[in-house]
Amino acid sequence: MNYLPQLQLLFKKYGKKKHPLDYANTYQLVVMVVLSAQTTDALVNKLAPELFKQFPSMKHLAAAHPEKLFPFIKSVRGFRKKADWLVRIAQALGDNKKIPLTQKELTELPGIGRKSANVIIREAGGVPQGIIVDLHVLRVVPRLGITAEITPEKMEKALMELIPRKYWNAAGMSFSHLGRELCRPTGPYCAECVMNSVCVYCKDNKLV
C-alpha cells in the first residue's frame, strides 16, 4: 500500500510541531533529552528551570561534580547515571557552541543513542540523518501497518527506506504527536485521525 499521500497529511498537521520538552536553547535541549529517557517530558520540564539556574551552560556543567546535580534531578529515573553522563558530555564539548548535530558525533557522547540524537538534530534544525522512534512511534507505526518491525533500530531502518529523506524530520515527530494525542494505548480516537482511511488497526477493529 502507498502510504505517502496520507502521510503527507499527517506531516502537514504535526511535522513542524515542537517536541514537548520545554527547552530554550540547544544546550538545554541536550540536557533535557538525556534526562527524559525512561522519564516523562512533563517531569523534566518541571525540574529544568531550577537545574538551569544552577548550571546555565556547558561550561558551568563541565565544572560540576555529578553529585551536585542530584538535588535537582533526583526525581528522574537513573538520575545518578544521568548526572555522570551530563557532566561527561559537558566536559567533552566544553562550550554550547560546540554541540554537534550529526548522528556519529552525538551518539559518541555518553547517554545519547540514535533516538536522542535524532531528537536533538531535528529540534536544533539540523540535517536529518534518521527518523525519531520513541515509545509512541513504536505503538503507532505497527498499528498503521506501515511496517511489522517492533524494535527501534529495525523500525527506524524500515521507515527510512519507505519515507523520502525530505520528510524524515517531520515523520518521527508526526508519529509521536499522533501517539500522544489520538493513537493512545487504549481508546484511540480514530475518527479524528487523518490516517484512518489507511490504518490497519482502525479497519481491523472497525473503529470508524
Verify that 198 and 156 share a domain, yes or no.
yes
| Nearest-10 crossing angle of helices 168-181, 135-144 | 90
Verify that 157 and 106 share a domain, yes or no.
no
Predicted pLDDT at 41: 97
35 within some domain: yes
The candidate with the shortest Cα–Cα distance to 20, out of 151, 157, 147, 180, is: 180
Verify that 109 and 34 share a domain, yes or no.
yes
Distance of alpha carbon 178 from alpha carbon 175, whole angstroms: 5
Verify that 36 and 116 share a domain, yes or no.
yes
Domain interval for residue 86:
26-123
Residues lower than pLDDT 70 in the chain = none
One DSSP character per residue, 80-140 reads: HHHHHHHHHHHHHH-SGGG---SHHHHHTSTT--HHHHHHHHHHTTPPP-S----HHHHHH
Verify that 82 and 149 share a domain, yes or no.
no
CATH number of the domain enclosing 69: 1.10.340.30
Q: What is the pLDDT of residues 5-17, one digit of tens each?
A: 999 999 999 999 9
Verify that 64 and 140 share a domain, yes or no.
no
Predicted pLDDT at 123: 97
21 within some domain: no
Number of domains in the chain: 2
Predicted pLDDT at 12: 96
Verify that 39 and 76 share a domain, yes or no.
yes
Verify that 140 and 173 share a domain, yes or no.
yes
